[in-house]
Amino acid sequence: MTNGLFSGLFSKNQSFPMKLVLRILTSVTFAVSTSSTLAESLKYQFPAAGVAYYVGVLTDSDVDQFISAAKDKNIKELMITSQGGSILAGVQLGRWVRSNRVEVVVDRLCMSSCANYVFPAGKGKIIRPGSLVIWHGGAEQKDFRELRERMSRIVRAKSLGETVSIEDEAFHADNTSPSKLWDVQTLAQKELFAELGVDEYITRLGQEPVFYGKPWTTTIETMKLFGIDGILADDRYGSGEYLAKAAKSIGLNNIPMVLSATRSGPGTLIQVLSD
C-alpha cells in the first residue's frame, strides 16, 4: 500500500462512536487514536443474553480478552463496529465466530481486517441500514507479495554464496524478523479462507489488475461470487445513493468505490465499477 493513501478519509466533525485518526500499519490495518475513553471503557459489551458488541480496533490483546470474556456466554450474535486491525487479530476473531456459529451484524462500519476475516466468518451476515463493509487489501496484496519474493531471492542467493547488493543486504537485515511475521499472516489468512470457502481476491479487488488508490465495497452479488453468502442488507446497498448517505452518516470524507465482478469463464473474473 502507499503511505497517505487513506489520509483524509474521515471528516474532523464526524458522528462515528470514536474520534478517529488514521494511519497505515505494516499489517493490513487501520489504527485508531482517540481522545475519548470509549475504546477503553466500551471495547466490548454483552448487552443481552447471547449478544456481544465489539467496538474499535482489532488488536491481539483486545481480541484475546473479548474471547475470554465471551466464554460460556453462548454468544450467537456479534454486533461489530470496527475500522480494522491486525491480520492475526482479525483471523483469530473470525475463527471464533466460525467455530461458535455466530451471526455477524455490521453496525455502521466493518473495515479492513474486520471485512476480510470477521464478516465472512459469520453464520449469517447482516449489514444494518446505513452501514458499510469496506476492503482495502490483504496479506496477498501485490506489494506484500513483492516484499516476500524479494526476501526469498536474497535468502536463496546468500545460501548459494552469491554476491548480494548493498541494498539487498540492508533489506535482509531490516526485514528478517518481519518476514517471519509475513509468512505467519499469509498462512493464517490462507487457512481461514480455505475453511470459509472465500476467495481471497476480494481483498485485492480494488488493487489488481487496476490499482484504484482508494478503499472499496462491493455489491452483494459480488460478495456472493467470492464465497461470502447469507447476507441480509438494504436492497439499495451498493448504489450511489446508499453509499453517499452511509459515508456521510459514518463520517467518511471520501465515498469508497463500489466494485462488482462477473465470471466470464472458470476461474476468470472481469472487474467493473458499479454506477
Report pLDDT for 158.
81
Is pLDDT at 73 greater than 80 in this prediction?
yes
Is pLDDT at 135 greater than 70 in this prediction?
yes
Contact 121, 196 (CB under 8 A): yes
> CB burial class (10 A; 0-12, 13-18, 19+) of residue 90?
buried
Instruction: Dig out the grid coordinates for 203 from the structure.
Output: 481483498
Split into its structural domains, the chain has a count of 1
State the number of CA atoms in the 13 A half-sphere of 267 facing the CB: 0
CATH code: domain of residue 197: 3.90.226
Report pLDDT for 178.
72
Question: What average pLDDT does range 133-148 have in this prediction?
Answer: 85
pTM: 0.80
Higher pLDDT: 156 or 29? It is 156
Alpha helices (runs of H) in 42-165, residue ranges in sequence order: 60-70, 87-99, 113, 142-159
What letters, b where the CB count within 10 A reaches 16 and e where it falls short, cover 18-39? bbbebebeebbbbbbeeeeeeb
Instruction: Dig out the grid coordinates for 239 from the structure.
Output: 448504489
Instruction: Dig out the grid coordinates for 171 from the structure.
Output: 533489506
Report pLDDT for 273.
65
DSSP β-bridge partners for residue 85: 58
Band of residue 30 on the pLDDT scale cut at 50, 70, 90: very low
Interval 75-129: pLDDT, tens = 999 999 999 999 999 999 999 999 999 999 999 999 999 999 999 999 999 999 9
In the predicted model, what is the mean pLDDT of the chain?
A: 82
Band of residue 211 on the pLDDT scale cut at 50, 70, 90: confident
CA angle 129-8-30, nearest 5°?
Answer: 70
Higher pLDDT: 242 or 153? It is 242
Higher pLDDT: 12 or 103? It is 103
Domain of residue 155: give its range.
1-275
Could you tell me where the beta strands, DSSP code E, fall in the chain? 44-48, 51-55, 77-82, 103-111, 125-127, 132-134, 216-218, 231-232, 257-265, 268-273
- The three-state DSSP-derived secondary structure of 147-170 is HHHHHHHHHHHHHCCCCCCHHHHH
Instruction: Dig out the grid coordinates for 63 from the structure.
Output: 481480541
